[in-house]
Amino acid sequence: MSDRIFGGIGLALAILFAWQAATIQESFLSDIVGPKVFPWIIAAVMALASVYFLIKPDPAPDWPRAGRLAEIAVAAIVMLLYAQLLPELGFVIATALAAGYLTWRLGSRPVASAVIGIGTSLGIYVVFRLLLGLSLARGPLGF
């Protein structure tokens, strides 16, 4: 039963996501693909996965214990905080903090998590900002 609830919520979110993607304003200077295609692909994959859960649910799902559910909830809150703090702290700092915390909760030691967070943040920054020239949120340090 819980898989069907999950599938129904996922399908509703996929429909909402596709509807919101359809409202994206396109510039007359956009490329051939346009800004709507990638969100529509995500919505389609999400819808297909959700329909699978609706059609073929697990007869005896194995739910995590309350402590693990709390950790999942905290990870979701960290991702929401990441989205809120991204414009304030900038991409590099916000990503380093979020990635560091999440890797720590996945089992890395604190120092290793800090190194992983910083490395992940700088690696993504180099690829997206320096190599691809995409705009990322600037922080108080100017990058």
4-28 pLDDT, tens digit each: 898 999 999 999 999 998 898 877 7
In one-letter notation, the amino acid at residue 12 is A
Model pTM score: 0.67
Share of the chain above pLDDT 90, in %: 64
Contact 53, 10 (CB under 8 A): yes
Tell me if residue 27 falls in helix, strand or coil: coil
Cβ neighbours of residue 7 closer than 8 Å, sequence gap 6 or more:
50, 51, 52, 53, 54, 57
Give per-residue pLDDT as tens, 92-103.
999 999 999 999
The pLDDT value given to residue 118: 97
